[in-house]
A = this chain, B = another copy of it.
Amino acid sequence: MVLSKACTYGILASLYVTREANRSKGYVSIGRMSKELNISFHFLTKILQQLTSAGILSSMKGPKGGVALKRNPQEISLVDIVVAIDGMGLFTDCLLGLPGCGEEKPCPVHDEWAGIRADLFHTFRGKSLAETAKRIDELNLRFALPSESEEGGKSIRDFRNLL
């Protein structure tokens, strides 16, 4: 998997918080978020703690507590979330996992992977929480996991449109 589950959930949760912030002031309840996104409450809590200690979210305990964006959602990019949870590895590691990766002694797929890797980085870096959340509303995109009942859907794995 390219992104860890934790990272995926972190992105979805960040977008959720961004949208809620547009609707009402105050902190967003993790319990409510976990229900709406179909993510395990305790697992989600752990992930959000990472984002909190990374300075992306702030949190508050007690009734009316929860998490909130610490900075302006236009200034937070998806790469911030990814790095906070999965680290920079995706954007810096060798595709073949060879230590000492680099221009001096590249492996056979270096040039191509370096380009794709940079694409990935720039894609995530160019997407702020604010505009991504906005696009969700405009285009009615999905960003929650499927509920137990609609699990039947499975992934569409269409090999042909890649050719």
- Number of copies of this protein chain within its complex: 2
Residues of B close to A15: CB separation below 8 A: 108
Quick one: which of B12, B90, B123, B162 contacts A2, CB cutoff 8 A? B90
Instruction: Give chain B residues whose Cβ lies under 8 Å from the Cβ of A143.
Output: 96, 98, 107-108
Contact call B1/A93, Cβ cutoff below 8 A: yes
Q: Which of A114-163 contact B (CB under 8 A)?
A: 115-124, 127, 132-133, 135-136, 141-143, 145-146, 151, 153-159, 162
Are A116 and B123 neighbours in the complex by a CB distance under 8 Å?
A: yes
For residue A129, give the distance in angstroms from its CB to the closest CB of chain B: 10
Q: Is A106 an interface residue (CB 8 A)?
A: yes
B99 near A146: Cβ-Cβ < 8 Å: yes
Which A residues are within 8 Å of any B CB, using their own CB?
1-3, 5, 8, 11-12, 15, 78, 88-102, 105-110, 112-113, 115-124, 127, 132-133, 135-136, 141-143, 145-146, 151, 153-159, 162
